[in-house]
Amino acid sequence: MEHARRVGNRLLAALPPADFALLAPHLRKVELQHDAVLVRSGDKIEHLSFPCSGAIALIMELPNGQTAATAVIGNDGAVGLMTALGPIRSPMTAVVRVAGTALQISPARFHNALERSPAIASSVQLLTRTLLTQFQHVAACNALHSVEARLARWLLHIHDRTDGGDILPLTQETLSELLGVRRTTVTHVVSALRSSRAIKSNRRGQLEIDRHRLEIIACECYKVMSRRIDRIVSQDAPRVLHAAPARIGCLPPDPPFAKTDS
């Protein structure tokens, strides 16, 4: 338990101590500033980010300039882990939507550890499962459910990954990006959620929510998706990662995080 609290990221915390020790000297803690772009679509991935707090949206950008969110990443995942498949460019843009902190490591350092640790390889597979779960549900939800239900779902997903109470730092532009709709549509949807008191107020750049009412309005995708992701991270991860056969020697647990990743 102390190890999990110290690490901050649930995916890293699930690693056996000896496997985590391969990464720890090269991890550096960074601040995730609100609206910061961690990587843009088509760019080379310069580092992997394991959030400890805050929320990062993965945004798909179409050639005509339209955008839509495909997933939200918090302390249950990572951004840039697709480099485990090879030196590929990012297929999506990753934007910090709620400020927080993350542990970052270079792809080269991560690959060195990956080659020595079946448990780290298993963690990549687990994260891939959580992302696929989100992608599949978001695609189905976008096709089948109302904009109001979809916005309620996104707000709940983001709220799950924040510790700042019921006020979310989200602008109408951000909501438009999450939903893949025009800002005029966002205005109508926010007004409807205010009428049902699921949104208490929407001051400039901030939304105050009523979580209980949002859960009533949100489609079933929210609960189904949350249960499946939580099962992967909380139940499958410890079982799969600790069952992975070790190929490394005994290393001291929990070495301190490096200040730089040179």
Which residues share a beta bridge with 103?
29, 50
Structure letter (DSSP) for residue 202: -
d(CA 67, CA 251): 45
What pLDDT sits at residue 235? 55
Which residues share a beta bridge with 198?
none
d(CA 262, CA 109): 10
What pLDDT sits at residue 248? 38
Tell me if 1-144 shares its fold with 146-218: no
What pLDDT sits at residue 163? 74
What pLDDT sits at residue 255? 43
What pLDDT sits at residue 205? 82
- Choosing among 2.60.120.10, 1.10.287.3510, 1.20.1280.50, 3.30.70.260, the CATH entry for 1-144 is 2.60.120.10
pLDDT in tens, 225-247: 787 777 766 655 555 555 554 44
User: Is domain 146-218 annotated with CATH 3.40.190.10?
Assistant: no
Q: Where are the domains of the chain?
A: 1-144, 146-218
H-helix or E-strand spanning residue 61: strand 55-61
**Which residues in the chain show pLDDT less than 70?**
1-5, 85-86, 164, 232-262
Q: Report residue 192 as tokens.
A: 């409807």
Q: Which residue type does 91 have?
A: P
Contact 57, 80 (CB under 8 A): no
What pLDDT sits at residue 101? 95
What pLDDT sits at residue 5? 52
What pLDDT sits at residue 246? 43
d(CA 237, CA 78): 14
Which residues share a beta bridge with 69?
59
From 21, 8, 14, select the one nearest 256 (Cα to Cα): 21
